[in-house]
Amino acid sequence: KILKEISHNPQIRRNIVDLGGLPILVNILDSPHKSLKCLAAETIANVAKFRRARRAVRHHGGITKLVALLDCAQNSEPAQSSLYDARDVEVARCGALALWSCSKSYANKEAIRKAGGIPLLAGLLKTSHENMLIPVVGTLQECASEENYRAAIKAERIIENLVKNLNSENEQLQEHCAMAIYQCAEDKETRDLVRLHGGLKPLASLLNNTDNKERLAAVTGAIWKCSISKENVTKFREYKAIETLVGLLTDQPEEVLVNVVGALGECCQEYENRVLVRKCGGIQPLVNLLVGINQTLLVNVTKAVGACAVEPESMMIIDRLDGVRLLWSLLKNPHPDVKASAAWALCPCIQNAKDAGEMVRSFVGGLELVVNLLKSDNKEVLASVCAAITNIAKDQENLAVITDHGVVPLLSKLANTNNDKLRRHLAEAISRCCMWGRNRVTFGEYKAVAPLVRYLRSNDANVHRATAQALYQLSEDADNCITMHENGAVKLLLDMVGSPDQDLQEAAAGCISNIRRLALATEKARYT
């Protein structure tokens, strides 16, 4: 009893571990006296707040013994939960408390899973004892960061009980349930389960209680991950969650903002929601967040601003607020994820701006910055920058400038890649850049043509379309035609002339036509 009380103090916790207290406490977990088991487990729960202590509990076999405590309260039918022996419930509660502290470490999460902890925790979720539910859900929420656990949580049908407890009166319990849903909803099936069990409505209504910031962060996190599925976004719109989310874009801590903006970024993939965000005045606070330093927040904000920029009216507001310049300056950010996200967001901005060519030229050093990003090692950065270059190069003047900055050799250097996403955007950029001066010939000189032919063997239809269009542009030059022919392009392109995709058909046919025309001219020259 004394140890349980004094172990709340951080210094005393360390002393207990230094004096070898943990193995003794772990042994007491085997005691036949339920009250002793409880006291030992609660003391372990207090002590295991730092790494060395958590490791010691595992090394002395404590995890298996703590998991065994969860079994105490499961011998009766759930229907008779009110008849549980109160002491058995208390033993299981203390076991769950200790596991919750221990589950902060990866090795312990694995140990809990191997000891059969998940089905037992799932069983305890069916109880109505709130003080039992909090440590149980807390442990599940900690463990749900691991892939193995998420699969098991699905198998044990834990999601429906998490959803049910969102409607509890207890704020701490709501917070842990929302947090567990946030961890698990990376998975599509789980997102569907949350919707099917009616979890979206309580999440949306919890957005209105903004006093408890920890709970608000968990709820907005769950909404963000759930809104990756379109069906869920439709429900959130029905429950008026999007307007509420826009209201949370100001005066909130960063951990809430990251999630709110993440959710809006997903919701704004749909036209109706883009209009809704604009009408609720959401563009200004989103653009204001482009000047922060939190990496995750910046990735989410750039995605949300990019999604809004697809709508021309929103784009006008973004431009007026200097949002495009802010996105451009994020291309200098040291984090590759932020760079890539900013470059993706610039694509719709350039597509939908009034005078895009002039706007892009107005950024001093902006074009050189973009071209130099083609020296990056990060595939996502490269793909996003190629996509941005495709849009920039639609303007002849800008295409001339990036050609002077050496865009052709840099694009050619990337051609030997196996990454389909990069291949697609690289081929589109090459196709666009062929429209200036001697660029077609230069791509041939820098050996970009043969690798492009190999892209036609990819399994991705988008890669086929982009590559056929690039080859069509390159085939305007005789030497490139010879390279294509030598690398077996004709047979591959002939198959694509029969594609249901009209753009692919036309590009493939045009390319074959150019190769054939050169062959005929060569033969004619030979005879004359």
Express each pLDDT in 255-277 by its tens digit. Answer: 999 999 999 999 999 999 999 99
- Predicted pLDDT at 225: 97
Say if residue 6 is exposed, middle or buried (CB neighbours under 10 Å; 0-12, 13-18, 19+): middle
pLDDT band at 473 (very low <50, low <70, confident <90, very high): very high
Average pLDDT, the chain: 93
Average pLDDT over residues 370-374: 97
Terminal C-alpha separation, the chain: 107
Average pLDDT over residues 359-373: 94
> Using CA atoms, how far apart are residues 299 and 333, in angstroms rounded to an integer?
11
CATH 3.40.50.11810 for domain 240-354, yes or no, is no
The answer, yes or no, to whether residue 84 has pLDDT greater than 70, is: no
- The hierarchical CATH code for the domain 365-527 is 1.25.10.10
The answer, yes or no, to whether residue 80 has pLDDT greater than 70, is: no
Residue 469 and residue 503 in contact, taking contact as beta carbons nearer than 8 Å: yes
The tokens for 426 are 């690289």
Average pLDDT over residues 471-490: 94
Q: What three-state secondary structure class fits 212?
A: coil
Question: Which of 31-35, 343-347, 412-416, 418-422 has the lowest average pLDDT?
Answer: 31-35
> Using CA atoms, how far apart are residues 165 and 478, in angstroms rounded to an integer?
70
Average pLDDT over residues 234-252: 95
Instruction: Tell which residue, 170, 263, 254, has the closest CA to residue 219.
Output: 263
- Predicted pLDDT at 150: 87
Q: How far is CA 258 from the centre of its chain?
A: 12
Fold match between domain 240-354 and domain 365-527 = yes
CA distance to 30, 43, 44, 105, 215, per residue, from 16 (Å)? 20, 10, 10, 20, 33
For residue range 91-149, what is the model confidence (pLDDT) as tens digits? 999 999 999 999 999 999 999 999 999 999 999 998 888 889 999 999 999 999 888 88
Instruction: Tell which residue, 193, 214, 207, 338, has the closest CA to residue 263.
Output: 207
Instruction: Tell which residue, 260, 167, 255, has the closest CA to residue 205.
Output: 167
Query: At residue 441, what is the residue type?
Result: V
- Predicted pLDDT at 83: 41
- Predicted pLDDT at 79: 46
CB-hemisphere CA count at 13 Å for 163?
23
Query: At residue 165, what is the residue type?
Result: N
- Report DSSP letters for 224-250, one per residue: HHHTTSHHHHHHHHHTTHHHHHHHTTS
- Predicted pLDDT at 439: 96
What does the domain layout of the chain look like in residue ranges?
1-156, 240-354, 365-527
Instruction: Tell which residue, 183, 170, 265, 167, has the closest CA to residue 217.
Output: 183
Q: How far is CA 125 from the centre of its chain?
A: 29
Q: Which residue has the tokens 């932020």?
A: 338
Pick the CATH number of 1-156 from 1.10.510.10, 1.25.10.10, 3.40.50.720, 3.40.1280.10: 1.25.10.10
For residue range 175-187, what is the model confidence (pLDDT) as tens digits? 999 999 999 998 8
- Predicted pLDDT at 76: 47
This prediction has a pTM of 0.88
Query: At residue 32, what is the residue type?
Result: P
CB-hemisphere CA count at 13 Å for 315?
19
- Predicted pLDDT at 331: 96
DSSP state of 127: -
If residue 217 lies in a helix (H) or strand (E), which one and from where to where? Answer: helix 213-226
CB neighbours of residue 264 within 10 Å: 30
Average pLDDT over residues 145-174: 90
For residue range 55-77, what is the model confidence (pLDDT) as tens digits? 999 999 999 999 999 987 665 44
Task: Give the angle 425-427-431 at the CA atoms, nearest 5°.
Answer: 115
Average pLDDT over residues 282-300: 96
Q: Left (φ > 0), alpha (ψ -120 to 50) or beta: where does 437 sit?
A: left
Average pLDDT over residues 185-200: 94
- Report DSSP letters for 158-212, one per residue: -HHHHHHHTTSS-HHHHHHHHHHHHHHTTSHHHHHHHHHTT-HHHHHHHTT--S-
